[in-house]
Amino acid sequence: MSQSVLIVAGEASGDLYGADLAHQLRARLPDVALYGVGGARMQAAGVQLIADSRAWGAIGVVESLKVAPKVYLAYRRVQQFIRRHPPDLFVPIDFGAFNIPLSCGASAQGVSVAYYIPPGSWRRERQGSDLPRCTHQVLTPFAWSAEQLQSMGATARWMPHPLLRLARPSEDKPTFCERLGLDPYRPIVALLPGSRRHEAKALTPLYARVAESVYTVAPEVQFALSVAPHFTADWLHSLWAEGSRQWVPTETRSVWNLLAHADAAIVCSGTATLEAALLNTPMLIVYRGDWLMNAEYKLRKRRLNLRWIGLPNLILQREACPEFIQEAASPSALARELLALLHNDANRQAQREAFQEIRRALGEGAGLREGYEWLVEHLASLQESRG
């Protein structure tokens, strides 16, 4: 009898990891039925979507309230699905506010839960207190996360981060440059404005103004703008026009090609900063929202008690990559730091050495089993126990 797996992701990064899991599970268990919550990648990987999460991305209270009705309706839909069609295995990916309550409910119903990349697993001081009682297994890409969860009573495994395997360019630099109309012998700067609509709306015009500032002193520098899968290039170009009349090529394919072949990058805080680090791309990390988000940030800054926001810096517990948050992310400040990064070999080399530390922290060279291997074994044990 075929088994069923429910994979639930609420963010663009989770959609990437969920699609990878779907491919890996289907390759080893051809008859497995895959259901889930995710976006275009999971759907393309053969997951039957119960709800589409492409429009959910939000950071902060203000933006979260805007998408809350959609998220709540999807939550109820998934709850009903689990109740009516209990899967053999539930695999939540990050997205704790949505997935932890679902995990607790599914576990209480007798569904086996294997949490994949638990929320906040990069934190060294604490892990989710509900995870031990709501999961049968937790797969985390950080050794300290596995140790803390084990000490709390969870069955936690340290696995290599899936981006170690996934983040690879698919074309060489000459091919990439020819496709985007770039000169491979001139500096290339990758611009990543984020996968959430409000991020791209705030950062794309800002990046355009940075480019204008850089052109005045270094006209040889080329910029290329990454387009998230659920955005259109035309929409980003309309935002770009608010800050620059200069044409900019847009990368609508894998961001890994753009990052791999860029000399430097300006990256919106999020998973993309980790992708840039794994592709060895020196970067500036940026986060800036609208005036409401700026006000919220100021009010919550003290309570958040975060020294850094970028994943590379959080993992290393030091500032390996410069961060520019809210008002500090001005066109002049970013242009100045970008030029310094492009023209200073020592700065770029220092970041690249830090990136090697990150690879080791994510499990490279540790001889770890991949997360999907643990899941296949988990499914086999479930089938065996049920006869």
Pair (62, 141) in one structural domain: yes
Query: What CATH number has the domain bearing residue 304?
Result: 3.40.50.2000
Pair (377, 324) in one structural domain: no
Count how many domains the chain has.
2
* Res 139 pLDDT > 90: yes
Pair (243, 351) in one structural domain: yes
Instruction: Please indicate, yes or no, if residue 130 is contained in any of the structural domains.
Output: yes
Pair (100, 181) in one structural domain: no
Domain residues for the domain of 200 are 173-361
Pair (378, 309) in one structural domain: no
How many Cα atoms within 13 Å fall on the side-chain side of residue 238? Answer: 5
Instruction: Please indicate, yes or no, if residue 166 is contained in any of the structural domains.
Output: no
Pair (327, 181) in one structural domain: yes
Pair (313, 373) in one structural domain: no
Instruction: Please indicate, yes or no, if residue 210 is contained in any of the structural domains.
Output: yes
Pair (183, 137) in one structural domain: no
Per the CB < 8 A criterion, the answer to whether 25 and 374 are in contact is no
CA distance 178 to 173: 8
Instruction: Please indicate, yes or no, if residue 252 is contained in any of the structural domains.
Output: yes
pLDDT score, position 273: 98
Tell me the Ramachandran region of residue 128: left when phi exceeds 0, alpha when psi lies from -120 to 50, beta otherwise: beta
CA nearest to 38, candidates 84, 102, 94, 83: 94
What pLDDT band is residue 69 in, cutting at 50, 70 and 90?
A: confident
Instruction: Please indicate, yes or no, if residue 167 is contained in any of the structural domains.
Output: no
* Res 302 pLDDT > 60: no
pLDDT score, position 67: 63
Instruction: Please indicate, yes or no, if residue 351 is contained in any of the structural domains.
Output: yes
Instruction: Please indicate, yes or no, if residue 331 is contained in any of the structural domains.
Output: yes
SS3 206: helix
Pair (188, 296) in one structural domain: yes
**pLDDT tens across 352-378, in order?**
999 999 999 999 999 999 999 999 999
Pair (310, 378) in one structural domain: no
Q: pLDDT above 70 covers what percent of the chain?
A: 92
Pair (323, 344) in one structural domain: yes
**pLDDT tens across 306-349, in order?**
689 899 999 999 999 999 998 899 999 999 999 999 999 999 99
Q: pLDDT above 90 covers what percent of the chain?
A: 82
Pair (222, 152) in one structural domain: no
Per the CB < 8 A criterion, the answer to whether 275 and 260 are in contact is no
Instruction: Please indicate, yes or no, if residue 168 is contained in any of the structural domains.
Output: no
What pLDDT band is residue 62 in, cutting at 50, 70 and 90?
A: very low
DSSP states of 260-309 as a string?
Answer: HH-SEEEEESSHHHHHHHHTT--EEEEE---HHHHHHHHHHHHHH--S--
